Every structure is written in structure tokens, then in C-alpha cells.
Structure 1
């Protein structure tokens, strides 16, 4: 069985080695890893030293808009994606060589890098043996386990995971029908040449979904390493300290804006399908990942490598070729693994259709801001109109929404090895940005409430002649109490959106076949529930401490009143003693 399974891979390897400029190290081989639930993969036959070149792929072997003849047959399908990068002489040549059938419909045919590559893959796939990449297509999967292809019942197994809202089957259907199908129908003689049976719309949509998912799982952004250096410079920007608040619109207490969330749950440089971490749109499925406008390509052999959160190989992008290199010593029998970036298991499942133990280090779950604001308003006793007024006084455009809650871990940057926090906990503190946002809302609300109380007391004094000093109303909650109680309630409500308990999921996970879709769904929601469960506990601990602090301050204030000394009550704006709150440089 294994021999039959590996036969296409052997033919592919022979085809790969025949390309001018390719290399494939003698001490590595393609093997059957289905026993590990991993399909095909590459292992080392002998010990391999660090910095060893494992294989090399010339750019001419990559399927892209610059290598497929479809770009010459229908130039306009790539003009939208790559015209700016071409010299004027090449643009002129493209126009002069354009098929008469293509004239007049440039606007309709113009594609982004994603749809352009989908069209190219469909064209090359339909060509069959006539395509230079036929042996490569033979080893690419025809079926995917990404949620895009799950049944409705299987999707329900993800419960309240944010992955559910990002599947995007309907959005992908719409994009295919509006941008891909019209081009194929307008150029049917090109796509359905001699001996190729024409497909109906439904069959083409299914094929386009397959190619879109193939791009999601296996394509590379064809950048050069110079671009990676620029990315590293951007990553060196320091986050703000916990003592820095959100800017308020009213000009009081002018402070610095909230920084962007630094933990990006997206792909890294080795397989970049478009970083949507800074995109505010509500995209979903593989459609949302097409926003990056870097040229895309399918890179034979690079996608033979499986990947995990801890890798031992790296794909570098050179001018003429891409090179896979060992980033640390690889022992004989060890699998060679690429790195797909700091992806949570939920995002790994959405993009690639599988989950791993080690990607649990990057697990994350969202907390929508509206849920936090709702519970802040309840703690403060605000009605709908008052809540809106408070929100309008804050520069909410600077808010993270949703706020991502993710695990604590240590990473060895040299070896890529991951280490969890000490003990059983996966979370040691709540996100600073979440506290800042909640604190900004509570600060404005408490300030407005204080002004209303002062106005009411002044009116009472004017009406009754009393100064209001003996007012016995219950003292307002401190800012710390309000924030901690609201966060505890928001996390509790977010956790309650999952219909089963963490304990029940863990018991079911232990009995579920490894590699099944249910197994993946359970791993995703277990990771999210662990984070939420520990977040609830941390928020409740904060609340207990805030109440104790408020009680101590109230007691001290009473003692000061009895002794005739004035003791200004602090409003709880400072989260830590001043010595600990100094900004870290």
C-alpha cells in the first residue's frame, strides 16, 4: 500500500530533479507518514549538520504568473496584480501579443494575485499531461480537511470558536462566480482546449475551491529576503507599558494611543499568504487572505515539507531560486519540518486543515469589545444613552476589537524551541491592552458620574440650604473594582457561549481518533476554553484585590475624618505602586 501511495511522489521527485537548477540532498527522502497522521513528508536518512542546503527550487520551476503560458494567452488576468512591476517595454509587448478575444474586457479580467493564481492553476490542471507541472499536480491533495469543506454538523463541533465566523464558504463562492468564472467562460477555447471536456459552472466552482484551498495551504509569497529584513525592523518597535492609557477625545489627561496587538495570528515569512492582522475588514475563509498584493506562486518540493510550531528547516527567497536550509542539526530518522508562523490551532485548522500539540503554544481566543463595554455599563449602572455618551468621549478608533487572549510561553530564538510557563497555567496575566481600554471607559464614566453627583448636591444645597456633607449614599465603586468585575463577567459570558465544559471536552478528546475532524475541533475549543477559564480566574482575583484595597482606603478615610485630618481618596487609576509603574525603556 505504501509503495502505491508513494509512487506519485517518486515520479514527482524524478520530474523535480530534471528541472535545471534544482538540487535534492542525498541524505533526505520522501516517505509515507500516514501512521503519524501526516501524509507524505521528508525525513533525514543520516545526521544532517546545521546550515545544510536540503533542496533548491529555481524560480522557473514555480507555478506563477511569470511562468505559466496563461499569462501570455490572457495578459489582462495578471495586469492588475503585476503590471506595476513590469517595465514599459514588457507592458507594450503584452498588449501587442494579446489575444483578440481578450480585447475590450481588461477591466473584467483584471485579477488580484489570488484569483490570478486560481485561474492559472485551473488552466494548468485542465491541460493534464500537456502541462509542465503534471507530476506536481499528481502529488497535490484533491481533498482538504479545512473547515471550508466540513459539513454543517462538523462545523458545530467548533462551538463558539472564532474559527466558525472565518470559514467563509459563501464569500468564496461569490468571489469565484464574480471574478473567476467570467474569465473562464470568456476564454473557454483556452481553458477547454482539444480533448478537454468543458465543465459546468458548479463543477468549475468546486475546482476553483480546490485550487483556492491549495493556494492557502501550499503557496508562497514570492518576496525576496530584503523584504524580510524590513519586516524585522518593524517588529523591533516596543510595546507600551501598562501604565499608558487610551487617548480621550475631550482633551483631559492627554495620553498616548493604544499600540497595535503585537501577537499576530497569521503566517510568517516562509509561507506568507497575506498578513491580515492589520486588516479591519470582516473577510473570511481563504478569501480574506488574498488582500496581500505580493505575487504568489506554487513552489514544488517546498510544500512536501510538513510544518509545526517547532521547525528545523527554513525556506529562503533568493533572486533566482528558493532554498531549504537546516536551521539546526537534524538527526537520522527525524522529519524535516518547515514553520508556518505563530498560528493558533484554530488558525492552523482554518488555513491547513490540521492541528498539533505544539501549536497549542499559540492558542488564542477573541473577546469582542462590545461584551466588555456591556458589562462595564452594567457595573457602572449606565443606561443606553449614558453608555453611548461615554463611548463618544473616548477615541474608540484606537481600540483593539476584538481583543485577542493568547497563551504565555518562552521561545528560544536560535533553535526555535518553545517552552510553556511554569506550572499548569497557560495564562499568567490578562492582556494589558484590554485593561487599558476598560480603564479608559471606566475613567470617563466615573468622571461623568462624579460631575452629575456634584451638580445634584449643588442643586440640593441651593434648594434646601444644606451643604450635602452628611449625604449617606453608598460610595461609588473604584475604577479598579469596575474594570475587574466587568472583565470577569465578560470572560464568563464568552466562556458560556461554548455549550460543553472544558472537563467534558478533555475527556472526549482522549477517546476521539487522532487526526479526525472531531479531534481537531476538540483541540481547538479546548485551547480556547483553557484561556477563558484562566482569564475568569485572573479577573476574579483582580476583583478580590480591588475590593480589599477599596475597603482599606475607606477605613483609612474614616479614621482620618475622626482624627480631623483630610485624606484624599484615590480613584484607583494606578494599577501598581509608582516604583513599579515606571516606563520600561
Structure 2
């Protein structure tokens, strides 16, 4: 570690060693600790932009040429950065980043590297369909390998097994996935000026013209979701624009900071020529210095970083307040088809296509507040519409409102959540019992993920049951009142006849 720090400082980096140190934390790897009290707004370390490793700073893209870089689609997704990291590592001491790359981990606890036995424990969770190992390997064979074989002067055949193998590709991809940041080109004020465009109520913190850098949240096989976004205080009008893969960068020292739910006390900011890690609140001596992953659910934390978060919950026990459960639209369709039996598969497909064209979602997310998305209910009600009402809705381009206002809809929504719960190999009670046993780390993490998801599902089902009972009670009261009213009205009519 000492040689790495020396390398960092010799290339223009600065660390305030009077307030922080890098140490090993049991179960967390390396991290930063405060060695003295740190006030809010204190600069912990800085580094020049040129010390970040990206497709902008590596010489490989220029050596290959812009035409070849685009020909092999290395300008899309993370394939280009992975190849740059492979190439820089192969240069050994000739590479500017040799000390940095040597300091990075080569083994990971993410599901990408799990055995089939361990992966079995993740059945039913949101992790399984997002690991993407096959898609990642397709990028290796379709992009990287052809590019490597086209330039044997840059990628000598004798080095391919050691530096450009599929196994090395996964290691580099996982390094990016777990440690990279999105560092955009400087588009702010001139050096020394303040950025008046960054609003004070923005989630980007303005510090002398700087804007915050966030860590990457994508997957190295995902061209669309490639980074932990930077919030630079601008509007959301450009949200639909494609993010620039060249913004994704490895940031020495900054990537050593660990993260934990709700614990962030430092954030990385960028300016014209430097990046700066600044404390965002007072940090006491002996406390860990935390960056953030954005308070992610355990399913994403495990998939991307190989760990889970457990904190004390307001309702008691431990868990991750950011946990979510995902309900796919095809599960909603399946529940309606099985229980209502009123529509053919062709009719279902027609309505689903229309739903999506009208801007409907194909995945619905339920958080720990247990609020059922109105869009999920709206889709379900769309499938239940009579033919006449369906034609009216389609002609008006107006899907039904997402209201739980009748027992049939509540019953079907409950069935959706029951089907989702049944996707897991065990019950919540069985998982609680398993966690009391001596387990491998992977299995323990998998159980924690599915426990968090099951708690949301069981909570939603309980609320739906209470809602259904309440509506049934109201219906009974109304029926009783109608019955009493009919009886009372009948007696009055009888008396009038007698008169």
C-alpha cells in the first residue's frame, strides 16, 4: 500500500495524512479512517484528472485509431475501458497506472463468480436475471477478441492468455462495476469561478465551482445503464440522452472508500483540472470515511459489489430500508389469465401492446413503504375490461385508473403477489431459521437478499387482505341497510293500503 500511495503522490495526487489513513477493515477490505476530527467541508485528498483511468486518458484508443475503435464498437458500453485496462496492465512498468492496477482486487464475491450451487440460492430474487454473464461474454467474443486479433502489434499473441483472456475480461469488468465513477468533461466555469448554474437545493453539492461525482451503477455488459450518474444541478430534460461511455473512469484513492446505507460523510467533486474528496459532515477520529453507492437495495449491492447492508429498522429487526421487490408485467398477465379466464392469449397480447404504446411499464417496483404502484393496478384492470369498455379505452387512449376499489381487483392483485412470493425456494420463516446456522458467505448473502424481498411481499399481502376484509365488511353493511330499508318500506306501504 505504501508504494501505491507514493505513486499517487508522485503523479500529482495529494492526501491529507493528518486527518485520514487507509486501513484494512474486517469483512470490508480496505477503507479510509479518520485519524483526527475532521470538520465538514474539509478536503481529504485531490488528484488531477489525468490520473483517472478512462478511454480519454489511456493511449490505447489513439494507438488503434478512431476508425478502428468505432469499427469494433469499443465506443459503446464498457468494452473500450475494459480493453484499455487490459492493455495498460500488459504494459507493466511502462504504464502510468501500473502501481494502481496492481493494487486493485483480482477476486470478487459478486454472483458473476458464484458456483451454480450458490446461484441456486438466489432463485426468485431480482438478482438472477441481472447477472448477465452470457451477455458480458458475448461482448468479449464480438468486440474485444476481434479487436485484439486485428492488431497483434498492440496485443502480442504471447500475452493474450495472461492479459486478454475471458477470465481477465471478467476481472476488469468487475473492477469497473464495483469501483468506477462517472467523470464528465469539464463544462463549468473557468478555473476559480463559481458555478451559478448549480442550484443550492440540488443534490449536487456546490463547492467553489465544483460538482459532485457519483459512482458507477451499470453493468459491464449493459450499453444503456453504464454509470453512476453525476448530478451537476442541471435540469432533467436530457435524461433520455445516451450517456457517454468515455465518462466512466477509474479514480485512484477515491475507490478505496467503502459505502453503507445512510452513512455517507464524504463526496467526490470535480472541477476543471482536479477531482476533490470533501467531507460532507463532521467526522470524528476513529470513524470510517464513507462514500455512497446511492442507498441501493441488497439485490443490487450484492450483484454489483458483493455485499449487503443491514441496519436497524424502525419497526424492529435489521434489514436494508432501500430494499425493493420487482413485479414483471408478464406475472400480472399470468395471474389474470389463470384466475379470470375471460381472455385469449391473442386478446391479452393486443391489450399489452397497447398498454406499452401508451407508456405503460413492464416492470413494477414496490418499496419498503409497501405502496402498490398504480400502474400495476391499471394494467390488471386493462386486462379485465369488457370488450365494450376495452374499445372505449383504446379509442380514447386512456388506460383505467389504478384504483383498488373492488374485491375482484384486490383479489387478483393479491394473487399476483402470492405468485411472486412462490418463486422463492423457501419460506420467510425457513430463511430466518437458516440465518441462525453456520453458512457460507455467499449463501448468507443470498438468504439476506431474499428475506428483504419476502418481507415486502408478505407486508403487501397482509395489507391487501385487510383491505379486502374492509371492503367486504362495507358491502355487507350496505346490503344489510338495503334489506332493512326494503322491510321498513314494505311496512309503510302496507299501512297506507289499510288506510
> For this structure pair, what is the TM-score category when the shorter chain's length is used for normalisation?
0.7 to 0.9
2:3 corresponds to 1:11: yes
* Partner residue, 1:420: none
Preserved contact between residue 297 and residue 320 of structure 2 (Cα < 8 Å): yes
Q: Indicate the larger mover: 129-138 or 374-383.
A: 374-383
Alignment map for 1:286-325 (pairs within 5 Å):
289-290=225-226, 292-295=243-246, 296-309=248-261, 310-325=263-278
Preserved contact between residue 181 and residue 201 of structure 1 (Cα < 8 Å): no
Alpha-carbon distance change, 517 to 402 in structure 1, aligned in 2, over 3 angstroms:
same
Inter-partner Cα distance in structure 2 for 1:517 and 1:167: 15
Q: 1:372 aligns with which of 332, 335, 346?
A: 332
Preserved contact between residue 22 and residue 58 of structure 1 (Cα < 8 Å): no
Inter-partner Cα distance in structure 2 for 1:188 and 1:544: 71
2:10 corresponds to 1:66: no
Secondary structure in 1 aligned to 2:160?
Answer: coil
2:2 corresponds to 1:42: no
User: Normalised by the size of structure 2, how large is the TM-score?
Assistant: 0.79
Q: 1:430 aligns with which of 358, 372, 380?
A: 372
Alpha-carbon distance change, 137 to 202 in structure 1, aligned in 2, over 3 angstroms:
closer
* Partner residue, 1:480: 406
- Number of residue pairs matched by the alignment: 440
- Offset at 1:439? 4.1
Preserved contact between residue 390 and residue 441 of structure 1 (Cα < 8 Å): no
Preserved contact between residue 110 and residue 305 of structure 2 (Cα < 8 Å): yes
Deviations 1:96-131 (A, max 9, x none): xxxxxxxxxxx2365325111111101001111211
Secondary structure in 2 aligned to 1:40?
Answer: strand
Secondary structure in 2 aligned to 1:323?
Answer: strand
2:367 corresponds to 1:406: yes
Alpha-carbon distance change, 563 to 293 in structure 1, aligned in 2, over 3 angstroms:
farther
Secondary structure in 2 aligned to 1:158?
Answer: coil
Alpha-carbon distance change, 72 to 225 in structure 1, aligned in 2, over 3 angstroms:
closer
- Offset at 1:488? 1.1
Inter-partner Cα distance in structure 2 for 1:178 and 1:57: 35
User: Normalised by the size of structure 1, how large is the TM-score?
Assistant: 0.68
- Offset at 1:224? 6.2
Inter-partner Cα distance in structure 2 for 1:17 and 1:184: 33
- Root-mean-square deviation (CA, aligned residues, Å) is 3.4
Q: 1:20 aligns with which of 1, 12, 32?
A: 12
Inter-partner Cα distance in structure 1 for 2:85 and 2:256: 18
Inter-partner Cα distance in structure 2 for 1:294 and 1:562: 75
Inter-partner Cα distance in structure 2 for 1:286 and 1:321: 29
Alignment map for 1:66-465 (pairs within 5 Å):
66-76=56-66, 80=70, 107-108=71-72, 110-192=74-156, 197-200=158-161, 204-223=165-184, 270-274=214-218, 289-290=225-226, 292-295=243-246, 296-309=248-261, 310-358=263-311, 360-384=320-344, 388=348, 391=351, 395-397=355-357, 398-408=359-369, 427=370, 429-442=371-384, 444-445=385-386, 448=389
- Offset at 1:403? 0.8
Q: 1:532 aligns with which of 457, 478, 483?
A: 457
2:416 corresponds to 1:490: yes
Inter-partner Cα distance in structure 2 for 1:232 and 1:294: 28
- Offset at 1:498? 0.9
Deviations 1:422-461 (A, max 9, x none): xxxxx4x43343334434544x349759x9xxxxxxxxxx
The gaps in structure 2 that reach 5 residues or longer are 189-194, 204-211, 227-241, 312-318, 393-403, 491-499
Secondary structure in 2 aligned to 1:362?
Answer: coil
Inter-partner Cα distance in structure 1 for 2:410 and 2:372: 11
Alpha-carbon distance change, 284 to 197 in structure 1, aligned in 2, over 3 angstroms:
closer
Alpha-carbon distance change, 60 to 31 in structure 1, aligned in 2, over 3 angstroms:
same
Inter-partner Cα distance in structure 2 for 1:118 and 1:489: 44
Deviations 1:112-169 (A, max 9, x none): 2511111110100111121111111121000111111111111001121121111111
Inter-partner Cα distance in structure 1 for 2:198 and 2:337: 43
Secondary structure in 2 aligned to 1:17?
Answer: helix
- Offset at 1:71? 2.4
- Offset at 1:65? 2.1
Secondary structure in 1 aligned to 2:288?
Answer: coil
Alpha-carbon distance change, 199 to 294 in structure 1, aligned in 2, over 3 angstroms:
closer
Alpha-carbon distance change, 28 to 542 in structure 1, aligned in 2, over 3 angstroms:
same
* Partner residue, 2:428: 502
